[in-house]
Amino acid sequence: MAGDLRHRRASAEDGGEGAPSAGEEAAANGKDGAGEPRGKREALGWLEWGRGWMAIVGEFFFQRIAASHLANPLELPPLEGVSIIVTGATSGIGLEIARQLTQAGAHVVMAVRRPKVAQELIQKWQNESSETGTPLNAEVMELDLLSLDSVVKFADAWNARMAPLHVLINNAGIFAIGEPQRFSKDGHEEHMQVNHLAPALLAMLLIPSLLRGSPSRIVNVNSIMHTVGFVDAEDMNLRKRKYRSWLGYSNSKLAQIKFSSMLHKRIPAEAGINVICASPGIVDTNVVSSISIFFSNHLFYFSR
Ligand SMILES: NC(=O)c1ccc[n+]([C@@H]2O[C@H](COP(=O)([O-])OP(=O)(O)OC[C@H]3O[C@@H](n4cnc5c(N)ncnc54)[C@H](OP(=O)(O)O)[C@@H]3O)[C@@H](O)[C@H]2O)c1
């Protein structure tokens, strides 16, 4: 996906094969190819929807085969002198990313809503690595993505250091499967805020530090579920249509891809900041456990 974004930016700049066609430009402007205003789309078409679910089912059944040639874990090069912020580093994928990067020598900032848990993790990793005698360069900063104030506070504190930032990994996310719709105190549907809006704000606010660390990158942890998402710019918080938790999640992940693509194109190439979306596949974490619990409860209900 990163390659794809880069390719599209390069091609768009030199007017090459990947540059948007007149039809695509028109579509982006809400017109048909002949320049006539087009009706606003209300939802995914059946074909797109079916294709999306097939991609999800395909990933579910075939990801092990597709990734069977990869070493696990992948070996990292020495990362001394590289500063990396990892959001949601207290469990699941973020925890593993932070642990491996720290052990490869990077300066890792665990941006989390439970600082005590993160401190304990650092202590544990430090004890484990005491045999090799390498001191770890990890620290904890508080960040709650359900509060945009917290995002601003975090970015201000980091930028005030006037230090370079080489990588921002926007990993933290929620999938509140089967739960009722909830809104943050900022007034946004929670999936949309935690998975897209707050990480997007964080990325924008950290651009001065990313410029100092250039070449640098923003990595947004996405999901194959974006293939069944639909973003209605006039109803980002799903107030007008029927809410379902999987829709809240999918929409937020699609919004994240759209934003990443736009940000990548808008940052001038000379700035040296790449914006990347990465889909981790299906990983056994808290997110997946809550999906399994949801399905086993419902299967139990149907089998009674
Ligand atoms: N697991 C999968 O199969 C899968 C597939 C595709 C994409 N993903 C994506 O991968 C990312 C990581 O998910 P995971 O599977 O590792 O789930 P996880 O184990 O539940 O971890 C999610 C992390 O996000 C943090 N978080 C949640 N709400 C937050 C908030 N308001 N502010 C700050 N941090 C918050 C959690 O903090 P606490 O520890 O404090 O709860 C936790 O550290 C997510 O973006 C998810 O959408 C996962």
- Domains along the sequence of the chain with CATH: 55-303 (3.40.50.720)
Mean pLDDT of 164-186: 96
pLDDT for 130: 76
If you measure from the C-alpha of residue 194 to the centroid of ligand 1, how many angstroms do you get, rounded to a whole number? 9
Please tell me the predicted confidence (pLDDT) of residue 296.
58
What spacing in Å lies between the alpha carbon of 66 and ligand 1's midpoint? 24
65 alpha carbon – ligand 1 mean position (Å): 25
Mean pLDDT of 34-47: 69
Query: Mean per-residue pLDDT for 102-108?
Result: 96
pLDDT of residue 23: 36
> What residues contact residue 8 under an 8 Å CB cut-off, 6+ apart?
18, 261, 265
Give pLDDT, residue 43: 83
Which of 113, 170, 196 is the best mutation target for the ligand 1 pocket, counting ligand atoms within 8 Å of the beta carbon and taking the most?
113
Residue 243 appears among annotated catalytic residues: no
Please state the φ and ψ torsions of residue 30, each to the nearest 5 degrees: 75, 30
Catalytic, out of 136, 249, 253, 263? 249
> Around Cβ 202, how many Cβ atoms within 10 Å?
25
Looking from the CA of residue 170, the nearest atom of ligand 1 is: 45
Which helix (H) or strand (E) element contains residue 110? strand 107-112
How large is the average pLDDT for residues 148-171? 98
What pLDDT score does 197 carry? Answer: 98
83-87 and 107-112 beta bridge pairing: parallel
Cα(175) to centroid of ligand 1, in Å? 8
Judged on CB neighbours under 10 Å (0-12, 13-18, 19+), 6 is: middle
Per the DSSP assignment, residues forming a β-bridge with 37 are: 31
Atom of ligand 1 nearest to the CA of 94: 16
Please check the confidence at residue 181 and state whether its pLDDT lies above 90: yes
Q: Is the pLDDT of residue 173 over 80?
A: yes
Going by alpha carbons, the residue nearest to atom 43 of ligand 1 is 88
Q: Quote the pLDDT of residue 118.
A: 98
Phi, psi (5° rounding) for residue 215? -70, 130
pLDDT in tens, 217-255: 999 999 999 999 999 999 999 999 899 999 999 999 999
What pLDDT, on the 0 to 100 scale, is given for residue 24?
37
* pLDDT score recorded for residue 284: 87
pLDDT(302) > 70: no
Residue 133 has pLDDT above 90, yes or no: no
Question: For residue 235, how far is its CA from the centre of ligand 1 (angstroms)?
Answer: 24
Atom 37 in ligand 1: which residue has the minimum CA distance?
88
- Which pLDDT band holds residue 298 (cuts at 50, 70, 90)? low
Q: Please, are residues 220 and 194 in contact by the beta-carbon 8 Å criterion? A: no
Ligand 1 atom at shortest distance from the alpha carbon of 87: 34
Confidence class for position 212, pLDDT limits 50, 70, 90: very high
**Nearest-CA residue for atom 7 of ligand 1:** 223
Q: How far does residue 25's CA lie from ligand 1's centre (Å)?
A: 35
Which atom in ligand 1 lies closest to the alpha carbon of residue 147? 31
Quote the mean pLDDT of the chain. 85
Say yes or no to pLDDT of 49 above 70.
yes
Q: Please say if the pLDDT value at position 189 is more than 80.
A: yes
- What's the average model confidence in pLDDT over 164-188? 96
The closest-lying atom of ligand 1 relative to the alpha carbon of residue 253 is 47
How many other CB atoms sit within 10 Å of the CB of residue 28? 9
Q: Which amino acid is at 160?
A: A
User: Mean pLDDT throughout 196-206?
Assistant: 98
Ligand 1 lining (C-beta closer than 6 Å): 88, 90-94, 113-114, 143-146, 171-175, 194, 221, 223, 280, 282-283, 285-288
pLDDT of residue 42: 78
pTM: 0.86
